Amino acid sequence: MNRRLRHISALTALFAIGLVGPWLMPAYISQFAQLWLFIVLALSWDIMGGQTGYNSFGNIIYFGIGMYASAVAQVGVVWPVADYTAAKGGGTEFVFTAEQIYTGLALGIPLGGLLAMAAAIVFGALLLGMRGHYFAIATLGLAVAIAELAAGWDYIGAGSGMVTPTLPQEIEGPVLFYYLSLALAVLAILFYAWLYSTRFRLAINAIRDDEDKAEALGHHTTRNKMTAWAISALFTGMAGAIYGNLSGFIDPHDIAFNAEIGVWMILMAILGGKGTLWGPIIGAIVFFVSKELFWTYLLGWQRVALGLLIVIIVVFFPEGIMGWVRSRWPHLFAAPHLDGDEGNAAAAATDERKEAANA
């Protein structure tokens, strides 16, 4: 089986499991929704951290911005936002019809993504001049600052947070948000798969490997870095928008700008293998399932177990699961489509034969 076929069948299998999953395990539907969102987060961290070589500790900013922006839009299409947040979510008068919910989500999720993207362009202009550890530290600082700003802004509920619109009886929340998460994950995976098949992947990998050389070759390195971060923010923001609804309550520190989730996105990508398409997907699945198991069966020790898992990953799989697979079975990663000769010679011959047939 060649590489492309393997790739497509793996994707099809993944999406098929996604579609029927809720019927097989209806009790875990919210967990699975979260898993799909985590896949999006890991993939979106990896385009910067893995593919471009810029370790962002601040992607959680886009998660939070997307979450708040969507919630504000969803409320705002029906009620004045300031009154809604002032009532601390307790006001029973803020009722939403099914139609208003759908309209709100249809507006809120893209808006969350776009606003996060806009933020990434602004922050990118400020921070992407820094390299290596300086960039990492700056993004970390920025994340802390943005969380504090959100926790102090009354319009979005300040420190007491914000409740997402309460669903009317006829909408089954978990099912709706499960399929929204699945749809976003499918969109993200297909988009990244396409993006990494273009020259853009080579351009950002070049920045990762040797930014000075990329510049010496005349690359628009700043533009490429900004594009990568903006794409990363777009998907992270949309994931945040759905995550807020899934959680039902947005707390600035514990949900929206949750430092723990900010670290998890990095861990998932590293666990699975940075700089690959499948690494972050596999990493997210392995990480999320072990996390859920630890939280269920090792309650009280769950963080110790998770910490141990992280240590084991870093010590035994420094290149992640995909990196380990690659070093054991390198032939699985041969890339005939990049060859300029054999494959193309055959293809050229076919073309010639076609032309001859036509003539």
Partner 1 sequence: MREWQAQDRPLLEVKNVTKRFGGVVANRNISLFVERGTIVGLIGPNGSGKTTLFNSIVGAHPIDEGEIWFDGREISRYRTAQIARMGLMRTFQQTHIFGKMTCIENMLISMPERRRQLRDLFSPGSRADRARAVDLLQFVGLYSKRHHLAGSLSFGQQKLLEFAMALMSEPKMLLLDEPTAGINPTLINGLVDRLRRTNAELGITLLVIEHNMRVIMNLAEYIYCLAHGELLAAGPPEEIRNDQRVIDAYLGAS
Point out which residues bind partner 1 (CB under 8 A): 195, 197-200, 202-203, 205-206, 208-210, 212-221, 224, 275, 334-335, 338-341, 344, 347-348
Query: For partner 1, which is the closer residue by CB, 90 or 218?
Result: 218
Residue (of 191, 164, 153, 167) closest to 47 by Cα position: 191
* Residue 224 vs 232, nearer CB to partner 1: 224
DSSP at 57:
S
Query: Least separation, in Å, of the C-beta of 192 and partner 1?
Result: 13
Smallest gap from Cβ 337 to partner 1, in A, equals 8
Q: Provide the minimum distance between the beta carbon of 195 and partner 1 in the complex, in angstroms, as a whole number.
A: 8
Residue 99 or residue 212: which is nearer to partner 1 going by CB?
212
Q: How far is the CB of 310 from partner 1 (least distance, A)?
A: 24
- Between 93 and 212, CB nearer to partner 1: 212
Q: Distance between CA 309 and CA 331 in Å, rounded?
A: 29
Q: Which of 291, 267, 284 is CA-nearest to residue 57?
A: 267
- Look at residues 160, 186, 177, 176 and name the one whose alpha carbon lies nearest to residue 246: 177
Q: What are residue 90's phi and psi, to 5 degrees?
A: -85, -15
Nearer to partner 1, 80 or 129 (CB): 129
Q: For the CB of residue 355, give the shortest distance to partner 1 in the complex, in Å.
A: 15
26 and 84 Cβ atoms separated by less than 8 Å: no
| Alpha helices for 95-220 (secondary structure H) | 98-127, 132-151, 173-195, 199-209, 211-216
CB of 321 to partner 1, least distance (A): 17
Q: Which two tokens stand for residue 298?
A: 């090792």
Least Å from the CB of residue 191 to partner 1 = 11
Q: How far apart are CA 269 and CA 249, in angstroms?
A: 27
Q: Give the H or E element holding residue 238.
A: helix 221-247
Q: CA 192 to CA 340: how far, in whole Å?
A: 24
HSE, side-chain direction, 13 A CA sphere, residue 161: 18
Report which of 270, 256, 63, 246 is spatially closest to residue 172, judged by C-alpha positions: 246
Can you tell me whether residue 162 is helix, strand or coil? Answer: strand
Please identify, using beta-carbon distances, which residue of 217 and 298 lies nearer to partner 1. 217
Q: How far apart are CA 61 and CA 252, in angstroms?
A: 11
Q: What is the dihedral of CA 276, 52, 63, 197, to 10 degrees?
A: -50
Min separation Cβ 262 and partner 1, Å? 26
Q: Closer CB to partner 1, residue 203 or residue 284?
A: 203
Instruction: Decide whether 16 or 202 has the Cβ nearer to partner 1.
Output: 202
Residue pair 74/101 in contact (Cβ under 8 Å)? The answer is yes
Report the alpha-carbon distance of residue 154 to residue 72 in Å, rounded.
Answer: 12
Q: Which is nearer to partner 1, 214 or 270 (CB)?
A: 214
Least Å from the CB of residue 203 to partner 1: 6
